[in-house]
Structure 1
């Protein structure tokens, strides 16, 4: 008794994947002769030079001529739906009845894809809102507009000479020498361009390319060089903060920038802050280890100015600063974008906040006193380096640093209140913005 092939359904299309240890799986559509869905594990280049496997699915139409099996690609799934794939397969069947070699169909149907150039495809992919970083849930995180502008400019400068090459004729030789040469002067940007080009070419398979020319290619990239952070001058702090808060960035980005000044956290820690990390009654912010650079959970005391700001901040989900473009928090790069958008590129970076504050705190001396709240306001010695390093979430590279896990919360609370009070004198706009901006949203 012949085997009955069941018609595909959207659910079975979604569920199709290779078995454990396999790279390929195929499933025919019992409702449409010749139509099958192919699921393949494909190696995708990562920014760090390594690769990872991602699941890609394509519609194929199979026909037989002169005793040989041949296939034509209809489109990728789920971009091409089951219904659309069936319509296309019926169209191919009609063409096959007229011309069993399918040469006419290949010429007429394939001319549009074969004429696409490398530059046209890259810019089309870059501007497509569906493009972006793959997420663990199978969706895409849209590309950040600032990154799109940066990569578009880099593509024009580095690969502009091969932009007119037909996508079907593209080889590793068109891309690798130019990117490797540019990586000597701009290694970070060259790596990002390589990453984006790899993604766009992967998504050209199999509709435009039988395989990406970058598969398995090893690039000799220049070493990443740490960029020195501009040194802030105390007399310019107020002007710099006012420029960022008065710039074109959104309220969420400005809020994260403010939080950096009051807590001395890293940009990524501020951007991804969650409400469940804060205890406003205790005046603390505890960040789990998975969000920390060193992998260790840290608790930061909050000065009174920061507490007032957080209590006035509207809660619109789990994140303090939700993104307006996608589900989740703002990107840490958006804080850098706010600084650049304020015209401060080369003068200030979000990370230079930590450099300036560390220098100021390490050189600050006070005399011991208490205020009306009972808090220490002055001390008869400089702030201890361990307090400062703990606030910055640094782990000193010594045996003492490895073993010493003291949090120094009372001492750091006093230290950060002194720091916040000093910021009030340097940048009155900081507190004014925090009190009024979000209340007026």
Structure 2
């Protein structure tokens, strides 16, 4: 007899081999070896349903949106706007008006810097970031501070790759206008305590922007519970297409911010004497958008929801634990970033070996990893190293692939030492 408990357990069981079958690229070979793709923090591979969604749009109802009244335009508009509703539910925004489509996390951060930042930051104000930010969450704030005469402050990290909380508390003050923080480090895998950071920001009246590029695929995201003011993420790390992302912003903030770009769709009426702008969210979506990839983003989110982010995360945690244990047994290997809270990513160095040489030898056996500073150069500089080799895992990866990574590293050490 099958009980409800048995059904629940069965429902939450994760079959990695069946999951892998949904990703056609995982069947290919690289240089005569089966592909082992361990560069998921850069971009994840796409399941067949996402590929089909792109093809279906172009072959079935390709048309511009919001403007035409013919059948194709109405079908395309409905599919496009359905993605907005799906994203709203996925991150638990309070309104679909708070969901702005962008080209990715980078554009989302730049949009906030160029609109809210230019309207609200003045000389002497302070913006706080962390020492583990991606360049896309450093450079926009540097540019804004240079333009406005504001001050950019940086929360340091310790040797484990965790924020030094006491130093953060010293930095925050009534001069703090905004804190922009990465939720999960793309270079270390560290999960930052964003809710605690936001709580401190509220004490001084500061806003908080969260870079969710690495967190959205791994962690449950609830922007209302988090109470962030802005949250940005990209589709392509979430099993979705490249070139499409999301900026969430609290409605009152978005209403008060100036426009970002001028063009079609973001207007209500244009005359040579002046222009009135469209309602949210279209106020920030000028021009013909990335329709196909936006529609396919919904498919990607549906795919994650149907699989179950909880069971995917459990499998990824098992991969992280296994990889950490196996890699630490390699002589001369040091893991960079050993925070208590991490996602499934391991960055490491090996004595006397350059990361690029390691990656080339791994690629010769079909193993794809990332090397360098991972667009987080100040963080890598903090550890006084030229870069790391990074293996980042998705739910389709296996312990057998980690075994092949370890074998590949042993071969590299033998050849390069």
TM-score after normalising by structure 1: 0.21
Higher relative contact order (CA 8 A, sep 6+): 2
Which structure would you say has the larger Rg? 1
TM-score after normalising by structure 2: 0.22
